[in-house]
Structure formats: structure tokens, C-alpha cells
Amino acid sequence: MDLGQIDLSKYIRLGQNPLGLGHDADPSSTVVAVTVIGVVVRPRSTFAALADAPRLSLGFAAVLGSGIVALALGLLANQIGGGGAPGMIASLLLPLLFLVYWGAASLIIDAAAGLSARSGRWRQYLAVSGFTFIPWIAYGVLSVVEAAAGASTVAQSVIAWLTLPLLAWFLYLTALAVFSVFDVTPFVAVAMAMLPDAVLLFLLIVLLVAAKL
């Protein structure tokens, strides 16, 4: 085993209840924390381990936890920047939006996988893809720093550009999740990872056009 690799298998086994009795032997929070570290340090091996032993509860906890942390950071950034009620409402909706995107993306990607006879793994993908939302926590941190830097400053412009690598990180993690679950080529994994955003953007355009008719 690679010395730099974080072995998640023992944590996943401890988090399960093989007898089906009582409560889990190890709190899920511990498993989630270890998995989050693995996603940051060793994303490829971590997603492979998640795909081998998928747990939907862990994926849900990762998405909801990311949404709650992003909510708190959004409220803080809104308070510092004086964004008012619109910014506060947008922040409060983040956990719900994260969950909706999580579910919709899994269905869209699973449907696309049907073209190569690999559909029907949407539950497994849900369990794995929950940890792809970690970059949005970093995005929330940048939003706080950007608000603290003040408007029309050089620091604010630099911080705004730093959001692009975070978007690339999110796409990379999503592609790894697709690759681990659906066993497709890296090129196809990247294309499938981009598909949910393309579909949602298309639907948004359709709604905007319909609203003007």
C-alpha cells in the first residue's frame, strides 16, 4: 500500500452494523471526517474505497454538512458585505439547493450511463458523489475573505479569480466519482460530470424564454 494513502476500509467497516442490531459501532461523524480528509489528500483512492463500500447515509451527511457550513459562511459574508435580505435568503437556501442538485445530478448521470449499458447505479453514485461538494466549503471561505477585503479592491479581484480553481476542483472530484462508480474511461467520466450542469442550464434557458412569451 502507498504510505501516503488513507485506508478508509476499516472506518467504513466500523461504521457498519454487521448484525443489524442496535446502533453503529462507530459514529458516522468520524467516518465522514476521515473521508473528507481522504478526499482532500488522496481523492482517487478515497473515491475508489467509497465506490467499493457505498453508504448512502454518508453521502447524505456529506452533502447536508457541506450545505450547512456553506450556509453559515454565506451568512457571515453577507453580514460583512452588507448584502441585506436577498443575500441572506440565498444563503439559507444553500442546503436545500445542494440536496436537490445532488439528487438531480445522480439521475442525469445514471441516465447517461445507460448509453453504455452501465445504468442502475444511481444509489451507489449518490453515496459516492456526496463528497464532491467539499469545494463549496472553500468557496464559502473565499466569499467571506472577499467580503472582508471590501469592494473594488485588488484583493477582491484576486480572490474572485481564485474561485475558478475551486470550480475545476469540483469538476475533477465529480469526474472521479463517475469514474469510480460507472467504470468508464476518464474522457467519458469528465463529459458525464459536466452533463448535469449542461442540462440544468438548458432548463434555465427554457424557463427564461417561456417566461418572456
Taking residues 83-93, what's their average pLDDT?
87
Q: Where are the domains of the chain?
A: 9-212
Buried b / exposed e along 99-123 (16+ C-beta atoms within 10 A): bebbeebbebbbebbeeeebeebbe
Neighbours of 180 (CB within 10 A): 25
pLDDT band at 66 (very low <50, low <70, confident <90, very high): very high
Calpha distance 37→43 (Å, rounded):
9
Between 154-161 and 135-149, two packed helices, what is the crossing angle to 10 degrees?
A: 170
Neighbours of 90 (CB within 10 A): 15
pLDDT tens per residue across span 142-166: 989 888 887 777 777 788 788 889 9
Q: Would you say residue 21 has pLDDT above 90?
A: no
113 φ/ψ sector (left φ>0, alpha ψ -120 to 50, else beta): alpha
CB 146 within 8 A of CB 160: yes
**Summary mean pLDDT of the chain:** 82
Indicate the SS3 state at residue 20.
coil
CB 170 within 8 A of CB 135: yes
Calpha distance 7→61 (Å, rounded):
20
pLDDT band at 98 (very low <50, low <70, confident <90, very high): very high
Q: Quick one: 66 exposed, middle or buried, by C-beta within 10 A (0-12, 13-18, 19+)?
A: buried
Calpha distance 24→133 (Å, rounded):
25
pLDDT at 131: 94
Positive/negative CA dihedral, 64, 68, 69, 71: positive
- Where does 77-154 show beta strands of DSSP type E? none
